[in-house]
Amino acid sequence: MKITYQGHSVIEVMMKDGSAVIIDPFLTNNPLTNKAPSDVKAKWVIVTHGHSDHLGDTVAIAKQNQATVISIVEIARYVSNKGIAQTHGLNIGGGFLFPFGRVSLTPALHSSSIQENGQTIYLGEPTGVVIEADGKTIYHAGDTADFSDLALIGEKYDLDVVFLPIGDNFTMGPDDAVIAAGRLHAKKVVPIHYNTFPQIKQDPTAFIARLPEGVGKVMTVGETIEV
């Protein structure tokens, strides 16, 4: 499994069989990435929640790739109404075995909505996502506060890589992310959702320095790791 970071909370996952997944594809208006939606080749798009910096370019990417969008049921319905032919709605605590691996949705403490024509459209509950594929397990926490039940995720899954927000203001900050990382017991923790906007300016190197030696990994934009 190869994992590429594209800034903010955008994660691309390439499976051994060539299946390509992109999570929270916020590329347009993302100042941290040079990757355009037209550059994405993915058959699966996973969305943790409905905010514009996570739903992002889901519709455009799904249309150009004839991709399936996997998300909570409300977002699946929303993108279906935008012309996406293939969607798969899940709900929190549920999972499904796709051709590339199993996807499960976990709780997240946040909100989920999109602004359209001056109106706020609520898009179900925010989630995290666990992917089990190629004998590995990764967890993308989405946008969330720290909460004690993260320990249940750490108990249930043997987590190879965890992606945790550290930006503060809208999500947990570095202090709480250190606590969250301890609850999850992951082999590797990668900070996400920082430095995109002034409100979420953070030092990721300082964050990983507070984790057990060898656990933290700052991924530069466009960097790929293999797990």
Q: What confidence score (pLDDT) does residue 64 get? A: 97
C-alpha distance from residue 91 to each of 14, 36, 98, 144, 172 (Å): 24, 30, 15, 17, 23
Q: 2-226 adopts what CATH topology?
A: Metallo-beta-lactamase; Chain A (3.60.15)
Q: Are 163 and 140 spatial neighbours (Cβ–Cβ below 8 Å)?
A: yes
pLDDT confidence bin for 31, thresholds 50/70/90: very high
Across 92-135, where does the E strand assignment appear?
95-98, 101-107, 113-116, 119-122, 127-133
| Per-residue model confidence as pLDDT tens digits over 58-67 | 999 999 999 9
> How many Cα atoms sit within 13 Å of 81 on the Cβ side?
7
Q: Can you read off the two tokens belonging to residue 114?
A: 């999109």
Q: What confidence score (pLDDT) does residue 17 get? A: 95
Q: What confidence score (pLDDT) does residue 4 get? A: 98
Q: Are 215 and 160 spatial neighbours (Cβ–Cβ below 8 Å)?
A: no
| Per-residue model confidence as pLDDT tens digits over 144-187 | 999 999 999 999 999 999 999 999 999 999 999 999 999 999 99
Element (H, E) at 60: helix 58-65
- Residue spans of the domains in the chain: they are 2-226
Instruction: Report the 10 Å Cβ neighbour count for 86.
Output: 16
Q: What confidence score (pLDDT) does residue 77 get? A: 98
Residue 197 buriedness (CB in 10 A; 0-12 / 13-18 / 19+): middle
Q: What confidence score (pLDDT) does residue 116 get? A: 95
Predicted TM-score of the model (pTM):
0.98
